[in-house]
């Protein structure tokens, strides 16, 4: 293995010019030999800084020590003691800004590749058919969860382990939230998500899909039957730019575009009969992780050119550096310091071009990033077949608008205690993106975990 002294073991990956034409996973995972070599870099610190960077406090040196001993079953047990979805977190958590950013190895060389080791152990565990944890005796109390994303699934799994009867109500036809409908197959295979959902179900959690809370079932109705409820409905409502032409055929929100590819299986056309015809040039507006996912998906759906159109420079781009790098390697074109001010279409309302305004960077704004300032008269028109708007998303009001007594945040989310998920309504807890706004999988899981603990304390005292 050619590796610089002190640097982490590289992750094998598909060749960029091959993978940009298929939906198979990009990163291929460590072999056992690679995992052992990387684990040997861990100092098993007695006061591990890495754990302080993990929102669910995984015993990182604990599970890595078990890898070193080649006791992968014990490593999996240790990992899953704190994290019910390790194969997912090992793939999509921003470890570089969490556990790995705190690892002492990173002071002089590169931090231990904690995420890659987590993925190795979780995949090993899945391949041998996942061992179930011990559960507590049934408590005779019922908890309902609204939304089967990472927040809801984690809360449900933890409560089931504590002996509660748990049921999740999910509006879509599949569980998983953004893990299923948002994050593309090439970063997070659906089969991996499904196996982790099956694990939660095997703990005794019942999941009923196609139930839109706030429409088909109200939270107040749920509370007549259940002792407590956790709301984890996420932030799935896309923001638009409010510019002329956004209603043209060919302009999508990232949410719709990725859902078509993920849940309606556009990627497996012609086997699945739901193609997304992207045409020759696709422009994705935005510079975050969602934009990178959409631009890379567009290439895989057959676009000859996939552009990221972002109004600031590369330095201000909020996407993870690794995602930007992967997009560049695959041939995504970055049209920086530009943003559309109008989309134009033909007489049948089909999109055919966009007018772009050029920007320069000014002083930093409230976010600390340099503000984009339009250059007067610097406009250009570019032909485009598909536009995907990826400028953010917020919570929908289906549950918040139909549950009296809930205090909301300024952005329309639910106001809940950060440590417990308690809301202004007794017995009603909330966590994940519906509370924080669009954030990360691990923060949503952390919120689900804290809420499960708080619900247990509340119901034990009742």
Q: Is 233 one of the binding residues for ligand FAD (CB under 6 A)?
A: yes
Q: Is 182 one of the binding residues for ligand FAD (CB under 6 A)?
A: yes
Which of 18, 43, 132, 378 forms a contact with ligand SF4 (CB under 6 A)?
43
- Measured in whole angstroms, how far is the alpha carbon of residue 235 from the centre of its chain? 11
**Restricting to residues 402-461, which ones interact with ligand FAD according to CB under 6 A?**
432-434, 438-442, 444
Partner from ligand FAD, ligand SF4, none contacting 169, C-beta within 5 to 8 A by type = ligand FAD
- Least separation in angstroms between residue 196's CB and ligand FAD is 13
The site for ligand FAD, by CB under 6 A, has a size of 41
Longest Cα pair distance anywhere in the chain, in angstroms?
71
Which of 17, 28, 33, 44 forms a contact with ligand SF4 (CB under 6 A)?
44
Partner from ligand SF4, ligand FAD, none contacting 147, C-beta within 5 to 8 A by type = ligand FAD
- Least separation in angstroms between residue 160's CB and ligand FAD is 17
Partner from ligand FAD, ligand SF4, none contacting 353, C-beta within 5 to 8 A by type = none
Which of 115, 214, 340, 413 forms a contact with ligand FAD (CB under 6 A)?
214
Partner from ligand FAD, ligand SF4, none contacting 42, C-beta within 5 to 8 A by type = ligand SF4
Judged by CB under 6 A, the stretch of 44-52, 215-223, 257-265, 429-437 that binds ligand SF4 is 44-52
**Restricting to residues 49-108, which ones interact with ligand SF4 according to CB under 6 A?**
49-50, 60-61, 64, 103-105
Partner from ligand FAD, ligand SF4, none contacting 273, C-beta within 5 to 8 A by type = none
Q: Is 232 one of the binding residues for ligand FAD (CB under 6 A)?
A: yes
Residues that bind ligand SF4 (CB under 6 A): 42-45, 48-50, 60-61, 64, 103-105, 112, 114
């Amino acid at each position: 293995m050619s590796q610089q002294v002190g640097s982490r073991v590289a992750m094998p990956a598909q060749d960029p010019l091959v993978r940009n034409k298929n939906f198979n996973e990009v990163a291929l995972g460590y072999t056992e030999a690679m995992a052992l070599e990387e684990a040997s870099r861990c100092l098993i610190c007695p006061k591990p800084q890495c754990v302080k960077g993990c929102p669910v406090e995984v015993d990182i040196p604990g599970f890595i020590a078990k890898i070193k001993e080649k006791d992968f079953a014990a490593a999996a047990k240790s990992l899953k003691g704190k994290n019910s979805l390790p194969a997912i977190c090992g793939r999509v958590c921003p470890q570089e800004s969490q556990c790995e950013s705190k690892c002492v190895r990173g002071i002089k060389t590169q931090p231990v590749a904690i995420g890659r080791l987590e993925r190795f152990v979780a995949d090993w565990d899945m391949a041998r058919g996942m061992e179930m944890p011990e559960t507590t005796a049934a408590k005779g109390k019922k908890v309902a969860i609204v939304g089967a994303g990472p927040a809801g699934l984690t809360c449900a799994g933890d409560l089931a382990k504590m002996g509660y009867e748990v049921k999740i109500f999910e509006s879509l036809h599949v569980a998983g939230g953004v893990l299923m409908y948002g994050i593309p197959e090439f970063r997070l295979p659906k089969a991996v998500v499904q196996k982790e959902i099956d694990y939660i179900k095997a703990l005794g959690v019942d999941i009923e899909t196609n139930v839109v809370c706030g429409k088909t079932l109200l939270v107040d109705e749920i509370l007549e039957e259940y002792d407590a409820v956790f709301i984890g409905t996420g932030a799935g409502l896309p923001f638009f730019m409010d510019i002329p032409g956004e209603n043209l055929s060919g302009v999508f929100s990232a949410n719709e575009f990725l859902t078509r590819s993920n849940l309606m299986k556009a990627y497996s056309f012609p086997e699945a009969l739901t193609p997304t015809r992207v045409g020759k040039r696709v422009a994705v507006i935005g510079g975050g992780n969602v934009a990178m996912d959409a631009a890379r998906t567009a290439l895989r759906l057959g676009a000859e050119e996939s552009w990221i159109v972002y109004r600031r420079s590369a330095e201000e781009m909020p996407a993870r550096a690794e995602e930007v790098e992967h997009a560049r390697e695959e041939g995504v074109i970055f049209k920086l310091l530009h943003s559309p001010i109008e989309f134009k279409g033909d007489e049948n309302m089909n999109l055919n071009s966009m007018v772009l305004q050029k920007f320069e960077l000014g002083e930093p704004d409230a976010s600390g990033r340099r503000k984009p300032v339009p250059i007067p008269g610097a406009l250009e028109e570019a032909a485009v077949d598909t536009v995907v708007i990826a400028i953010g998303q917020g919570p929908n009001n289906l549950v918040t608008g139909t549950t009296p007594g809930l205090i909301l945040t300024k952005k329309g989310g639910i106001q809940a205690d950060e440590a417990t998920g308690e809301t202004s309504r007794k017995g009603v807890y909330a966590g994940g993106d519906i509370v924080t706004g669009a954030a990360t999988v691990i923060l949503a899981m952390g919120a689900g975990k804290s809420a499960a603990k708080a619900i247990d304390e509340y119901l034990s005292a009742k």
